[in-house]
Amino acid sequence: MNLPRTILVPIDLGDHTTEVLDYAVGLAGRLDAKLHILHTLPLPVIGSEIPVTISDSAIDDLFAARRQELDRTVTSYAGKCAFASVELKTGDPRTGIQEAAVRLRADLIVMGTHGRRGVSRLLLGSVAEHVARTAPCPVLLVRSGTATDR
């Protein structure tokens, strides 16, 4: 068994992001691995069930705001970890994560899961579950509220 040297960390920039990044940064430090951060902005933001058109400038503004938030998040880890890459993509997160894992030849994906059950999981789906089932490498899921200082 080879230890992971290339770790992909998809983040959603939600409340759980810090827990996932803390875990991934700690793991990468112990394994001397490179971290690649990915945030995928799903577009259209509003589904086709709502007949609203989003202008190009509104999408550009949303993209710029997410870029700022992603940059702020990564900057907060300065000195703790040097990230090999930080990407902001648009599209389906499930597809974006799969494509990045293949392109980067990731040895491991570390990502968060909210642990939704029942109707909320049925309605919202689970990106983490999809990735865990279809990823080209092992997937480590960090459940919200369970990460501790390691």
**How does pLDDT run across 126-135, given as a tens digit for each residue?**
889 899 999 9
Query: Which helix (H) or strand (E) covers residue 23, if one does?
Result: helix 17-31
Q: What is the pLDDT of residue 44?
A: 61
Q: What are phi and psi of 77, to 5 degrees?
A: -100, 10
pLDDT of the residue at 52: 57
Q: What is the pLDDT of residue 146?
A: 58
Q: 62-71, 96-105, 136-145: lowest mean pLDDT where?
A: 136-145
Residue 125 neighbours by CB distance under 10 Å: 12
DSSP per residue, 93-124: HHHHHHHHHHHHT-SEEEEEE----HHHHHHH
What confidence score (pLDDT) does residue 48 get?
Answer: 55
Would you say residue 43 has pLDDT above 80?
no
**Domains of the chain, with CATH numbers?**
6-143 (3.40.50.620)
